[in-house]
Every structure is written in structure tokens, then in C-alpha cells.
Amino acid sequence: MKVTRNLSVLGENDRPLVYDVFDPQVSDKHPVILFCHGFKGFKDWGAWDLMCSAFAKAGYLTIKFNYSHNGGTLKQPIDFPDLEAFGNNNYSIELRDTTRMLDLITSSNLPIDRDHITIMGHSRAGGITTITAAKDKRIKKLITLAGVADYKSRFPSGTELKDWENKGVMYIKNGRTLQEMPLYYQFYQDFIAHENELTILDQATRLNCPHLIIHGTLDPTVSINEAYRLKQANSLAEMALINGANHVFGAVHPWNRSNLPNDLQRVVQCSLNFLNK
């Protein structure tokens, strides 16, 4: 296996999409997995490296990347030096960035099988990947990890929403870096302007590719009820519940061990069972 790190391609507003490639190097054409991180996430978080290595060892060329407006930069892809970009991020930008990564994959000289592209999204990116898979025929399989089923309910309402509009910005605390991270009101405006496209459950009904829904039964961040809602929207979807698992399947950042946490190992095995059918 060969791992190439911190490559880049231009994303939204000429900000870089920084990505890593895990190449199994076992054949001329490998099936592909594109992994997409969630809110306040980044490609190098926790045990994502080990997870991608596990997929590559199983024969899947695996790519993980940072969204262009996740707050990271090419020189500092892990921390969040670019809070202005973070504050100006929105779901539409992440959808376009995801398509850019698919364009990169399908137009590259990487040793891939273009007929076997899987997209995988964690948490917030569970919605992004569901919406993308509903309209992009290049995607042959979809896996969502602790994926959200509804974006609208996550926005503030009432006086809190009005306060956000009046101030133009609200802040959320990053427990790891202790930064006050801005969210500009454009985030909500963009959602309202594109609500039809960004309604995850509606898009889930339009999926024509196999979908595996993986969720921890003790997820405190995204309720397991959201997994059931996704399943209800697409009766053909498969669901794998990881008993006792939290939102990040037992991982933390940094992850300094050489092995995957048990729950994330179960995620890998469930994913491989689904992919190898």
C-alpha cells in the first residue's frame, strides 16, 4: 500500500481541497471509496487514517479530503487557522466540493475502476453524500456514518435566529482548540434558498444506488432516530447498528494507538461486507 498525503486541487473560491490517497497497489484498477468529514471535522481527525488504511488493505483505493471551507489550509490541514473560511462555509459549497472531488477521481490517472465508486460521509457529510448520490450516477454505493437526516432542524429558531440575523454572525466553541468559531448568517440564507435540494430525506427517496446506514446506538450528537428516518425514506437501504457506539465510534483526537477502536473496526467490517456483495 502507498499513501500520498496533502495533495491539493482548487475548491470553492480558489481555496484548496487537501486530500490523501491510499493506494492498495494490488491491481491496475481498484474500486474507490471517497470519505467526507463532518462539521468541525478534517481528514486527519482521530482514527480516520487507520480506517482508510484498512479499506486500502482490503483492496479499495481510498481518498479522504478537507472541504475547502472547513477552516484548514494546505500548510495547516489539521487545525483551523482560516476561521473566515469556516464562517463562510455552507451546505451548497460542500456539495460542489464533493462533486469536484468526484471529478478529480474520474479524470485522474489513478488506478481506479470508475464503475465502482463508493462515497462515504460522516455526520453532517452523511447528508451531503446522500444528496450527491441521489443525483450523481457515478456513485455506485453510499455509506453514511452517524449521518444526519435533517438539516433544517439544526438551525436556531425564534429569537435566537433573529439575533443571528441582526448580528450577522454567531459563534460556536471548539472544545479541542478552544477557538470561538464564527458562523455567518449566509449559512442559513443559503439553506433557505436551496431548501428543496438540501432536504436530505427527500433526496434519500431518490437514491438509485445501494445505501448502508451505520449508526451507534448511544450516539449523543446525532440521534439514532435519524438513522431510522433515513431507512424509512428508502426502504431498500440497509442498516447496521453498532451497539453501544458513540458519534465517532470510539475514536478520539489525537488517536495515538496503532489499532482501530473496536466500534470503528466494526464499522469497517460492516462496510466491507456491504461493499463486497
pLDDT tens digit at each of 277 positions of the chain: 999 999 999 999 999 999 999 999 999 999 999 999 999 999 999 999 999 999 999 999 999 999 999 999 999 999 899 999 999 999 999 999 999 999 999 999 999 999 999 999 999 999 999 999 999 999 999 999 999 999 999 999 999 999 999 999 999 999 889 999 999 999 999 999 999 999 999 999 999 999 999 999 999 999 999 999 999 999 999 999 999 999 999 999 999 999 999 999 999 999 999 999 9
pLDDT on residue 238: 98
Beta partners for residue 214, in sequence order: 145, 240
- Which domains are delineated in the chain? 2-152+197-275 (3.40.50.1820)
pLDDT on residue 60: 98
pLDDT on residue 233: 98
Contacts by 252-259 with C-beta closer than 8 Å and gap 24+?
252/46, 253/45, 253/46, 253/176, 254/46, 255/46, 255/47, 255/50, 258/50, 259/50
Q: Is the previous residue joined to 254 through a cis bond, with omega within 30 degrees of 0? A: yes
pLDDT on residue 121: 98
Q: Is 215 exposed, middle or buried (0-12, 13-18, 19+ CB in 10 A)?
A: buried
